[in-house]
Amino acid sequence: MIILWVVIGCLGLLLFLLLAAVIRTLLEPGKRSDYEPAPNPERAEEYAKKLSAMVRCETVSAPDEDLQYKFLAFHAVLEKLFPLVHRRLEKTEIDGNLLYRWKGEQSDRPLVLMSHQDVVPAEGEWLHEPFSGDIADGKVWGRGASDTKCSVMAFFQAVEELLAEGYTPPQDVYLLTSCTEEWGGEGCPKLVAELEKRGVKPWLVCDEGGGIITDPIGGIHGNFAMVGVFEKGKADVRFTATSEGGHSSTPKAHSPVARLAAFVNEAETRPIFRRKIPKEVAAMFETLAPYASFPLKLVFSNLWLFRPVLLKALPLISAQAGAMIRTTIAFTMMSGSDACNVMPQKATVSANMRFIPHQGMKESLEIIRKLASKHGLETEVLTANDYTEPVDIHGEAFRTVQQVIEKTFPGCAGSPYVMTGATDSRFCQRICPNVVRFAPVIYGPEQMKGMHGLNENIEYNCLPGAVDFYKNLIEAMRR
């Protein structure tokens, strides 16, 4: 009888809490994100032509190859497109990587604007040739149009226009663009080392990463400025199983391939990494909640009640959502025997891991190493780096970026966002506490699909806003 009353009491409390959450959600005014770029065809077409010229210069990068000639050709294009930048700013070139200094009225809180020159290879059948730079259907087409020559064009153009007005920035401004970002090479570290040598300690770094994302989560519609506030760490790891080999006609139990398969299956089907909603992700949900349909609004507005449910549901909603709350492991490469009738003496599977702050590199690698050992596998960490320290989402630098977003893109809500990928900006963490990842262009579903895929493009009506964002950010450095 006592147990029954306890159950009834618990159910009653749960219903009361649920009713409180529903009432709280109903009382919260709903919002609509109605931001669309203001029509400005003359500027948009001018910028589209400049971006097209940049896309036509093929800058595919690869490790262990001397491709500097490609980037020197690209630099010549930049010099032609942005003559004032190249006449008035101090330029430093290091192995194809570029650093420009625009001297300001003061130098105590420098601003770094950055994005990369290099692009990934373009394979498959494209609607427009990948390095054509075609301007058609309101878009600039080609590899690098959205990732990320659009950003490079925009901040160069912003400085070009301000120089034409005779403007002097309130703080030193540095333009930084590497040619090794796509494979995590030494380009950006060399530029950061140059800044260190000069004693430059940026107050704010703005790189790619986030952007103005259309429909960022199912059930939430419109354009939202998603500002990356930290990057997950990453590692490439190889797992190896060995045996004496032999003929496949007399197979022994627990062969290398079978052990690897069991390991992969357990890693993918059992929740081996702890789930937790970081405060930055909680802030994102809080920001997006008023724009959501009622069920999502109910959950996002009341994390105090629905957090346990959300932790289980997010990975089911989308892979992106799941990656923001836990360390992930993705198995990507395999090797075994060279013949179907030969048992392998050695078989391997390789994986890419991404580390979340609440379970960083050391702990996550130890978890996967123990699981591999359980299946008789050896673990070899090929490369690894930990997550970056988050930007203070209540601090002055993040508020400044949010204010510039509000000024430049009226009606577009700004939100913190977790970068599940990697950018060059992680190398800036050691010299700057305020590193944000935000490309001020619109990424709709088509643009998101085209990054590193087929038919990459950018709608050029968003380019004037991107230029204005960088101009406003430069001006916002005045205290």
Judge if 221 and 265 occupy the same domain: no
In 115-164, which ranges are E strands?
Answer: 135-136, 139-141
Reported as half-sphere exposure (CB side, CA atoms, 13 A), residue 387 has a value of 27
Q: Are strands 90-94 and 328-335 parallel, antiparallel or unpaired?
A: unpaired
Judge if 260 and 364 occupy the same domain: yes
CA–CA distance, 219 with 28 (Å, rounded to integer): 17
Name the packing angle between helices 149-164 and 41-56 (round to 10°). 120
pLDDT above 70 covers what percent of the chain?
95
Judge if 207 and 338 occupy the same domain: no
- Residue 194 belongs to some domain of the structure: yes
Task: Provide the pLDDT for residue 90.
Answer: 98
- The rounded radius of gyration (Å) of the Cα atoms in the chain is 25
Task: Provide the pLDDT for residue 208.
Answer: 94
Q: Is the separation of the CB atoms in 451 and 205 below 8 Å?
A: no
**Which residue has tokens 């940049």?**
54
Other CB atoms within 10 Å distance of the CB of residue 265: 11
CA–CA distance, 409 with 411 (Å, rounded to integer): 6
Question: Residue 72 above 60 pLDDT?
Answer: yes
CA–CA distance, 161 with 164 (Å, rounded to integer): 5
Strand, helix or coil at 269? Answer: helix
Task: Provide the pLDDT for residue 219.
Answer: 79
Judge if 74 and 188 occupy the same domain: yes
**Which residue has tokens 């003359």?**
42
Here the CATH number for the domain that contains residue 258 is 3.30.70.360
- Residue 15 belongs to some domain of the structure: no
Judge if 52 and 139 occupy the same domain: yes
- Residue 89 belongs to some domain of the structure: yes
- Residue 1 belongs to some domain of the structure: no
Q: How confident is the model at residue 64 (pLDDT cuts 50, 70, 90)?
A: confident
Judge if 299 and 366 occupy the same domain: no
Question: Residue 4 above 60 pLDDT?
Answer: no
Task: Provide the pLDDT for residue 348.
Answer: 96
CA–CA distance, 459 with 97 (Å, rounded to integer): 27
Strand, helix or coil at 86? Answer: helix
Task: Provide the pLDDT for residue 9.
Answer: 56
Report the number of distinct structural domains present in the chain: 3
Question: Residue 20 above 70 pLDDT?
Answer: no
Structure tokens at 35: 């931001």
- Residue 121 belongs to some domain of the structure: yes
Residue 131 CA: distances (Å) to CA of 44, 147, 295: 20, 13, 44
Domain carrying residue 298: 279-325
Judge if 101 and 155 occupy the same domain: yes
Residue 311 CA: distances (Å) to CA of 162, 277, 329, 419: 47, 7, 18, 18
Q: Are strands 97-102 and 90-94 parallel, antiparallel or unpaired?
A: antiparallel
Judge if 401 and 257 occupy the same domain: no
Here the CATH number for the domain that contains residue 145 is 3.40.630.10
Residues 326-342 have pLDDT tens digits of 999 999 999 988 889 88
Judge if 116 and 126 occupy the same domain: yes
CA–CA distance, 102 with 255 (Å, rounded to integer): 62
Judge if 382 and 397 occupy the same domain: no
Question: Residue 385 above 70 pLDDT?
Answer: yes
Q: How confident is the model at residue 318 (pLDDT cuts 50, 70, 90)?
A: confident
Of 337, 352, 386, which residue is a domain's last?
Answer: 386
Judge if 162 and 253 occupy the same domain: no
| Single-letter residue type at 166 | G
